[in-house]
């Protein structure tokens, strides 16, 4: 495994949505789907069955988080903009749920930068 070979002190993961099956450049054919109703909407045939589908992207991130190292997870490119936004939202929620004792600070909306035209 890469982790044991390299023995990093920290990990940076760039989560490009180009890897998704629904992206025109989806060469890795990863999914951002979970649940029994999930289905790949790509117009080419896939080998996904109609049963439980687990997000390939979340599995990869879960593997990295299992290393228990300081990890920086970044967004990345994607040509299917709605699926890119869904991926980043899902990854953010997933990572926050995986990290223990995390409290997100509630930030009040700042109206200083908003004005009437």
Q: Of 18-22, 73-77, 102-106, which gets the smallest average pLDDT?
A: 102-106
Q: Is residue 13 within a helix (H) or strand (E), and if so which, with residue range?
A: strand 11-15
Rounded to 10 degrees, what is the CA torsion of 15, 18, 23, 26?
A: -110
What is the band of 59 on the pLDDT scale with cuts at 50, 70, 90? confident
Rounded to an integer, what distance in angstroms lies between the CA atom of residue 13 and that of residue 65? Answer: 10
The pLDDT value given to residue 99? 76
* DSSP, res 53: B
What's the pLDDT at 14?
92
Q: Give mean pLDDT, residues 41-70.
A: 67
pLDDT (0 to 100) of residue 54: 60
What is the length of the chain?
Answer: 117
Domains in the chain: boundaries: 2-98
The chain-wide mean pLDDT, for the chain, equals: 76
The C-alpha atoms of residue 33 and residue 53 are separated, in whole angstroms, by 6
Q: Nearest-CA neighbor of 30 among 57, 64, 61, 62? A: 57
Provide the whole-model pTM: 0.66
What are the CA-CA distances from residue 36 to residues 33, 55, 56, 70 (Å)? 9, 12, 15, 33
What are phi and psi for residue 14, nearest 5 degrees?
A: -100, 115
């Amino acid at each position: 495994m890469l982790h044991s070979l390299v023995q990093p002190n920290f990990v940076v993961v760039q989560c490009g949505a180009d890897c998704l099956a629904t992206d025109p450049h989806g060469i890795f054919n990863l999914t951002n789907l979970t649940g029994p109703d999930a289905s790949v909407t790509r117009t080419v045939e896939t080998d996904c069955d109609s049963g439980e589908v687990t997000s390939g992207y979340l599995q990869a991130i879960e593997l990295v988080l299992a290393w228990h190292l300081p990890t920086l997870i970044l967004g990345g490119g994607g040509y299917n903009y709605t699926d890119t936004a869904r991926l980043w939202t899902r990854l953010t929620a997933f990572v926050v749920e995986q990290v223990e004792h995390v409290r997100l600070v509630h930030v009040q909306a700042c109206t200083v930068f908003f004005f009437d035209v």
